[in-house]
Structure 1
Amino acid sequence: MSDQTIVVLGGGYGAEAAKALSVKVPAGFNIVLIDPRPFRVWLPAGLRMTCSDADNLEGLALAGYDNIFPKGNGRFVQGKAVGVTKKAGGGGAVQLENGEEVHFKILVLATGCKWSGPLDFPHSADAMNAWLKQCREEYTQAQRIVIVGAGAVGLELAGEIRDFWPDKSVTVVHAQSKVINAAYPDKYRDYAAAGLTARGVELILGDTVDSEIPTGGGKITTRNGKEIEGDLFVSTRGGLPNTAFLKTLDPSILSSSGHVKVKPTLQVQGHDDIYVMGDIIEWEEQRNAIKAQAHMGIVVPNILSSVAGNPPTKEYKGSYEIIALTNGRNSGSIYVDVLWGIILGGWITKIGKSKDLMVPMFRSAMGY
């Protein structure tokens, strides 16, 4: 039945939204959380986890959904969404790859990004173990590692590799003239770059790789004609919104980049019973975990208002930019876009993120 069901599609920060709804919805409502994996992957720990088995991250940064519904009013469904349909009068259904349909009164879209490279995690425990073993072997055996893309993922991966293998050659190629992107001031971009070059990481900026990145070792020629040899090439060009399945609902809700067009209440334009949070919303901001938490602070109260028979009134107005980049486990940098733009260095970044990658916070959020 769909008349009292709230479906949350996506088990990242969607899991935390499902947990919050489970606690607060009126009696009679039930929550269904859907995700292709039977566990949540804590992405801030993902890069270190692919490099090494140190700190038992595969036992800590992966967590099942057993404790998401503290009031017993929900269930988890493992499945991949391939479509969404609406029905006259409201509500609709999510179509899964296995043919199952999950009906909803209200739908929350929190499907996040599809990643390439090291963060392209498999959907089963056995495949995940094999993937981690493969990644670790590749990093261990390679002496010359070339990373294509100096966004947050590329920079953090370079720092992790330098931590575990100080003598390996690490090169990062980036299309822009400075690392990350122009959402951040030059002074911070230079600061983040300097932290890596001081550790012997080579940055090739203002250049890119147009050809297919080799699997394993080989040679690439950049757009500017520079030849780079490597034993391992790793793509870290960023994620793409996981929203193609929404074309079955209404292609007009997707922007040209594949993000979902929303109202300030974070309802889908033209579909007031569907809410959106996380990396897939069309909004002029950088996409990261802090923004997903801010979106949840709008979506959950608005749903609770709706199920109580009241219109949703909380509006998302955006938030200031903040980024925390690790540089291995003992350093990194933070930028906060307040006042004149505040840069925090390695010591505070180590305490806030680099040392434990916020894994204890993640496990607490998942009920462990």
Structure 2
Amino acid sequence: MNETVVVVGGGYGGAAVAAALDEHADVVLVEPKDAFVHSAGALRALVRPDWAPNMFFRYDRLLTRGRVVRARAASVDAGGVTLESGERIEAGHIVLASGSGYPYPAKMRTDVADEALAQLRGTHEELAKAGRVLITGAGPVGLELAGEIKAVWPDKRVTVVDPAERLVPAFADEMRADLHRQLDERGIEVRLGTALSEPPPVEPGRARTFTVDGITADIWFRAHGVAVQTSYLGADLAAARTPEGRIRVTETLNVEGFPNVYALGDVTDLDEAKMAGYAMKHAEVVAANIAARVRGEEPAATYAPSPIPSVLLPLGPDRGVGQFPGPDGPLVVSAETVADYKGRDLFVGRFAELFKTAEPLSAPLPEPSAEPLPQPPSEPSAEPTAEPVDVG
């Protein structure tokens, strides 16, 4: 059997599964970006450009035996991957980890890290000039963006609008009440049941005063609208795609009907929020099953979404809300716990370890805590890729 594993996409799940399989097979990671983007840090990078390099990590140390091919997949079938250049990589095992797109600044608009940093600096300058900020979308991405803005500029007026009648409706009432309290304390105005009749007459992230539906602002950002990236699937694999573009998977995370093809992260049709932490848990299952196949064993690792959703939603470095599955139902955690687990460093140290580097792209890491924190029951790292009602 061809023991080559081709991983399509080097985001959270793709990078994790490639690293886990490096000692078991010939791994080829296909990724168009020149550096891994820790998207959970994007909103802080916007408000603190001095911190922004912490969200980029080079791929050059991720694999010891395998290789990273900087390219985009044009077509993927059960036998291999054809790149946009026309090069063909035959594979015995394929992992679909291409993720999804999301509006800037939660996701970058370029595959080049230096260009992304320049764009973030430019948008930061625009935001710094604006006294009134409008955010459309009151899901975790929009709320986290509002919290980051207020943490740096407490005097800015921040308004978040969303057509939904409740914030984060999938989560416990206790967490929701704490969220409302902290938003009020930060002076963040949330208008629920509100949909703009038309988009603002200026592009997002550009400072220019406007009024729409009675709301006057100097800049706005869109925090909704996920786009699943599965258009590259060949005719055979496309049969497993849902009308929404996601990929149907089995409990072993195989693409339905294909024992040698797996999918993880945002592209799957699993009934759970699309978050980085879940993608990395998927990666553990996929890596275990491919390693078993390489050894000639029957894959046995399975994955099932938790019926209790999880989230760590910072509202700046020192505030936020969170929920984990507990033995008796949802376990709501304090703002201090959210800050300790995620808010202060946004898991940067964890990815420095994954990418085997003492520092990210060009800036020192935050100082580690004096005492290691215990691991929560489930630790979803908030990759901002979901719709406003999801945990992104």
Regarding TM over 0.5, the answer is yes
Which residue of structure 1 aligns with residue 22 of structure 2?
Answer: 22
CA separation of 1:5 and 1:291: change in aligned 2, threshold 3 A:
same
Deviation of 1:100 after TM superposition, in Å, equals 2.6
Which residue of structure 1 aligns with residue 73 of structure 2?
Answer: 81
Which residue of structure 1 aligns with residue 144 of structure 2?
Answer: 156
CA distance in 2, matches of 1:163, 1:318: 33
CA distance in 1, matches of 2:189, 2:318: 20
Is 1:346 the equivalent of 2:335? yes
Indicate the SS of the match to 2:148. Answer: helix
Which residue of structure 2 aligns with residue 9 of structure 1?
Answer: 8
Deviation of 1:243 after TM superposition, in Å, equals 1.3
CA separation of 1:209 and 1:258: change in aligned 2, threshold 3 A:
farther
Which residue of structure 2 aligns with residue 280 of structure 1?
Answer: 267
- Could you tell me which of 41, 45, 56 is aligned with 1:45? 41
Is 1:234 the equivalent of 2:233? no
Identity of aligned pairs, percent?
Answer: 31
CA distance in 2, matches of 1:197, 1:99: 54
- Could you tell me which of 334, 345, 368 is aligned with 1:356? 345
CA distance in 2, matches of 1:120, 1:45: 10
Indicate the SS of the match to 1:337. Answer: strand
CA separation of 1:97 and 1:134: change in aligned 2, threshold 3 A:
farther
8 Å Cα contact 2:18-2:63 kept in structure 1: yes
- Could you tell me which of 44, 52, 61 is aligned with 1:57? 52
Q: Write the deviation string for residues 208-229 of structure 1: whole angstroms up to 9, x where unpaired.
A: 23533431335464xxxx4212
Which residue of structure 2 aligns with residue 100 of structure 1?
Answer: 87
CA distance in 2, matches of 1:41, 1:290: 15
Deviation of 1:362 after TM superposition, in Å, equals 1.3
Indicate the SS of the match to 2:160. Answer: strand
Q: Could you say which structure has the higher strand fraction?
A: 1
Specify every segment of 5 or more residues in structure 1 that has no aligned partner in the other structure, as ranges. Answer: 87-91
Deviation of 1:249 after TM superposition, in Å, equals 4.2
CA distance in 2, matches of 1:230, 1:101: 50
CA distance in 2, matches of 1:220, 1:335: 37
8 Å Cα contact 2:43-2:145 kept in structure 1: yes
Indicate the SS of the match to 2:317. Answer: coil
- Could you tell me which of 288, 299, 314 is aligned with 1:326? 314
User: Letter of the aligned partner of 1:310 in structure 2?
Assistant: E
RMSD of aligned Cα (Å): 1.8
Is 1:184 the equivalent of 2:171? yes
8 Å Cα contact 1:84-1:249 kept in structure 2: no
User: Letter of the aligned partner of 1:103 in structure 2?
Assistant: E
8 Å Cα contact 1:179-1:190 kept in structure 2: no
CA distance in 2, matches of 1:138, 1:108: 40
CA distance in 2, matches of 1:291, 1:303: 18
Which residue of structure 1 aligns with residue 155 of structure 2?
Answer: 167
- Could you tell me which of 111, 114, 137 is aligned with 1:126? 114
Indicate the SS of the match to 1:334. Answer: strand
- Could you tell me which of 187, 191, 194 is aligned with 1:200? 187
Q: Write the deviation string for residues 298-327 of structure 1: whole angstroms up to 9, x where unpaired.
A: 111110111122221222122342100101
Specify every segment of 5 or more residues in structure 2 that has no aligned partner in the other structure, as ranges. Answer: 358-392
Q: Write the deviation string for residues 4-61 of structure 1: whole angstroms up to 9, x where unpaired.
A: 31011111121111111012x1xxx31001111011011111110122224x331x22
Q: What TM-score, normalized to structure 1?
A: 0.90
Indicate the SS of the match to 1:19. Answer: helix
CA distance in 1, matches of 2:99, 2:323: 23
Deviation of 1:99 after TM superposition, in Å, equals 2.8
Deviation of 1:248 after TM superposition, in Å, equals 4.3
Looking at both structures, which has the greater relative contact order when contacts are Cα pairs under 8 Å and sequence separation is at least 6? Answer: 2
Q: What TM-score, normalized to structure 2?
A: 0.84
CA distance in 2, matches of 1:270, 1:340: 35
Superposed, 1:227-266 pairs within 5 Å as 227-246=214-233, 248-266=235-253
CA distance in 1, matches of 2:255, 2:155: 50
Indicate the SS of the match to 2:323. Answer: strand
Which deviates more, 206-215 or 339-348? 206-215
CA separation of 1:77 and 1:350: change in aligned 2, threshold 3 A:
same
User: Letter of the aligned partner of 1:318 in structure 2?
Assistant: P
Q: Write the deviation string for residues 277-314 of structure 1: whole angstroms up to 9, x where unpaired.
A: 11211111122122112212211111011112222122
User: Letter of the aligned partner of 1:313 in structure 2?
Assistant: A
CA distance in 1, matches of 2:195, 2:338: 29
CA distance in 1, matches of 2:69, 2:198: 39
Which residue of structure 1 aligns with residue 257 of structure 2?
Answer: 270
